[in-house]
Amino acid sequence: MTEQATKTDVGVSQVKCIGCGRTALPDRFRCETCRDLLEIIYPGWEPQGPYGLNAASLKKLWRDRKSSFEPADQSGVWRFREVLPEIADDKIITIREGNTPLYELPHCAKSAGIKYLYAKHQGMNPTGSFKDTGMTTAASFARAAGYKWVACASTGNTSASMAAYAARGGLRSLVLIPDGKISWGKLSQSLDYGAITVQLKTDFDGCVRVLNEVVERMPVYLLNSVNPYRVEGQKTVAFELLEQRGWEAPDHIIAPGGNLANSSAVGKALREMKQLGFISRVPKVSVIQAEGANPLVRSVRENGGEKLIAVHAETMATAIRIGNPASWKKALRVIRETGGEVEQVSEVEIALAKAEIGAEGVGCEPASAVTLAGLKKLVKQGFVKANETVVLVLTGHTLKDADFTLKFHRGDLFEGTPHKAESNTLKPLQRSPLVLEPRVDAVIELLQSAE
Ligand code: F0G
């Protein structure tokens, strides 16, 4: 492989079942034989194979692309196209996703009791969530395969992202979301980007059930995260993170768990980076769920992860209000392979962590904040040591759920809930908006009284 590696040199992907290992057709989402999920593999990467990749030359090539003006090079996903499934350049739909910042979080580190804490902020993607990195790949493949319609069930971010990529790619899109259970910001995005948006009178898991039947009967391409092309795009977050750290692995990566595709994607990338010689050590990957939406936590604790215990999900972190996660087996494999943990956090712990991330000038949506809340627990348990380097994957932008933030600061987030008493501990972080007469003195007095 020369420095000029291109995707056509290495384009040798296959779709395979994660259960029985059988090869599948590229536009399927489950194995026709055992119904397990599918994943994309690259047999041509074997060092002895004809396309063995050279990590050193790829590191340079990917860096050089940052100064290119080509749309695919400017994408923080397609910049890494040698480790993605092959596609013709003119089929790529990109809104310049990826290329997200890695922030230090010194105050949150202190609050968690560790020295080195960073946030890989995927909320800084074009539609405000990590979903864009997987949507660029899967929507592009939908277009390449000739589909006119794409669809997803969503807790709000997938739908916002899908609607945007479909619009950019000239595809029609259908969104199924749980009625009244997603933030209005996310709902407004899918309307703005032109999707047909349907609020079903059920929860996310109910939306998935309906959509699975619709795509069986209609020529509509499913863009939920069971789509293996979504996972391929999403995995680039870990390539980019390692690049930002000079290819030095952190000790620990912590991701929120909903449908469990994101953690699966991070783990897949780490596995591939190790295989290809980009890194010599794989960080632990831990997954944090909300207590009210904890099917993976329960399954691990109650049956050792033998089978999924689906739950009726309830949490204010609506993005991860999921009781029957599709990618649980993939995520569990990542947690086991890397030696990570699975943990759950309470509603009040989530609200506190979100406020702390906000107070660093970074901010995130509630579902992302489970990572910091979970880290604190893992430190207390001694699982994460004070001198370890930890990266939190922040999945959504703070503006995704402004309602939550306003209610938090006004002090009425937990009004009428069983968490009201416990939420008194949040008072020191609450900054209710003030109303004053338009007098200079009043503002000066306020400044003088501020600590
Ligand atoms: N964080 C945010 C902000 C999310 O929107 C989601 C999932 C997750 C975390 C969990 O990621 O599902 O890969 O484990 N949102 C989906 C949606 C389900 O429809 O937008 P996961």
Task: Kindly report the three-state secondary structure assignment for every residue of 181-211.
Answer: CCCHHHHHHHHHCCCEEEEECCCHHHHHHHH
Q: How far is the CA of 97 from the centre of ligand 1 (A)?
A: 17
From 207, 297, 320, 344, the mutation candidate for ligand 1 (largest count of ligand atoms within 8 A of CB) is 320
What pLDDT, on the 0 to 100 scale, is given for residue 10?
47
Number of the ligand 1 atom closest to the C-alpha atom of 264: 13
* Residue 280 lies in domain: 102-127+230-429
Q: How far is the CA of 103 from the centre of ligand 1 (A)?
A: 21
Which residue, among 66, 90, 89, 67, has the nearest Cα to 76 in the 3D structure?
66
Within-domain flag for 239? yes
What pLDDT, on the 0 to 100 scale, is given for residue 3?
37
Within-domain flag for 348? yes
368 lines ligand 1 (CB under 6 A): yes
> What is the CATH classification number for the domain harbouring 415?
3.40.50.1100
Which residue, among 133, 60, 144, has the nearest Cα to 94 in the 3D structure?
133
- Is the separation of the CB atoms in 27 and 55 below 8 Å? no
Which residue, among 244, 268, 261, has the nearest Cα to 296 in the 3D structure?
261
The tally of CA atoms less than 13 A away on the side-chain side of residue 220 is: 19
DSSP string, 121-187: EGGGSTTSBTHHHHHHHHHHHHHHTT-SEEEEE-SSHHHHHHHHHHHHHT-EEEEEEETT-S-HHHH
Give the pLDDT confidence of 100-115 residue by residue, as tens digits. Answer: 999 999 999 999 999 9
Q: What's the rounded mean pLDDT across residues 256-278?
A: 97
Provide the phi-psi class of 251: left if phi over 0, else alpha when psi is between -120 and 50, else beta. Answer: alpha
Within-domain flag for 243? yes
Phi and psi torsions of 312, nearest 5°: -85, 115
pLDDT confidence of 5, banded at 50, 70, 90? very low
Within-domain flag for 359? yes
189 lines ligand 1 (CB under 6 A): no
Q: Atom 15 of ligand 1 has which residue's CA nearest to it?
A: 319
Q: How far is the CA of 129 from the centre of ligand 1 (A)?
A: 9
95 lines ligand 1 (CB under 6 A): no
- The conformation of residue 291, written as its DSSP 8-state character, comes to G
262 lines ligand 1 (CB under 6 A): yes
267 lines ligand 1 (CB under 6 A): no
Within-domain flag for 165? no
The alpha carbons of the chain give a radius of gyration, in whole angstroms, of 22
pLDDT confidence of 54, banded at 50, 70, 90? confident
What pLDDT, on the 0 to 100 scale, is given for residue 348?
98
Phi and psi torsions of 293, nearest 5°: -145, 65
* Among 16-30, 296-310, 376-390, the least confident range: 16-30
Within-domain flag for 221? no
161 lines ligand 1 (CB under 6 A): no
Within-domain flag for 10? no
Number of the ligand 1 atom closest to the C-alpha atom of 234: 13
231 lines ligand 1 (CB under 6 A): no
What pLDDT, on the 0 to 100 scale, is given for residue 451?
72
Q: What is the mean pLDDT of the chain?
A: 94
Within-domain flag for 301? yes
Give the pLDDT confidence of 348-365 residue by residue, as tens digits. Answer: 999 999 999 999 999 999
133 lines ligand 1 (CB under 6 A): no
Q: What's the rounded mean pLDDT across residues 84-108?
A: 97
Is residue 89 scored above 50 in pLDDT? yes
What pLDDT, on the 0 to 100 scale, is given for residue 149?
98
Q: Which residues of 384-418 are buried (b: 16+ CB within 10 A; e: fewer)?
A: beeebbbbbbbbbbbebbeebbebbbeeebbeeee
What pLDDT, on the 0 to 100 scale, is given for residue 51?
56
Q: How far is the CA of 261 from the centre of ligand 1 (A)?
A: 8
371 lines ligand 1 (CB under 6 A): no
Q: What's the rounded mean pLDDT across residues 221-247?
A: 97
Q: Return d(Cα 101, Cα 186) in angstroms, integer.
A: 22
From 208, 262, 330, 399, the mutation candidate for ligand 1 (largest count of ligand atoms within 8 A of CB) is 262
- Chain centroid to CA 244: 18
Choice between 12 and 349, residue whose per-residue pLDDT is larger: 349
Is residue 13 scored above 50 in pLDDT? yes
pLDDT confidence of 61, banded at 50, 70, 90? very high
Q: Return d(Cα 347, Cα 298) in angstroms, integer.
A: 17
Q: How far is the CA of 31 from the centre of ligand 1 (A)?
A: 23
Q: How far is the CA of 56 from the centre of ligand 1 (A)?
A: 33
290 lines ligand 1 (CB under 6 A): no
Q: How far is the CA of 300 from the centre of ligand 1 (A)?
A: 20
Give the pLDDT confidence of 363-421 residue by residue, as tens digits. Answer: 999 999 999 999 999 999 999 999 999 999 999 999 999 999 999 999 999 999 999 99
Choice between 25 and 304, residue whose per-residue pLDDT is larger: 304
In the chain, how many domains are there? 1
Q: How far is the CA of 256 from the centre of ligand 1 (A)?
A: 8
Q: Which residues of 23-50 are buried (b: 16+ CB within 10 A; e: fewer)?
A: ebebeebbbeeeebbbbbbbebbeeeee
